[in-house]
Structure 1
């Protein structure tokens, strides 16, 4: 059995699996988004595809409105 090609294929598969399965932290992504009256409008928040990011961003918008009052 030729182990070198098998080992190389196994390593490449492991690297691809790890690289493709990394999920972005929703809070970090939401923290990077710009807060403004326009971006915090419900219609704009609803456009965010990732549910966890959408909830985290909506929470930031709610804190922004509360802090401004």
Structure 2
């Protein structure tokens, strides 16, 4: 889910019926913004650096394809 922020003039989405993992689906105009990753509670473990920086109120810049956590097995 894309989220426009201050100075984001526009969010451009490509018109496609389906996408494959890693394929660009759109981009932000004028600077950057943020993407929300939605997942059911208890299904992933975020990397410790992201948790630490978040606790300190520090924004973490993430690049496309960069690992941010791991999927948990049902018995974890």
What TM-score range do you get, normalising by the shorter chain? under 0.3
The higher radius of gyration belongs to 1
Which of the two has greater helix per residue? 1
If the length of structure 1 is used for normalisation, what is the TM-score?
A: 0.17
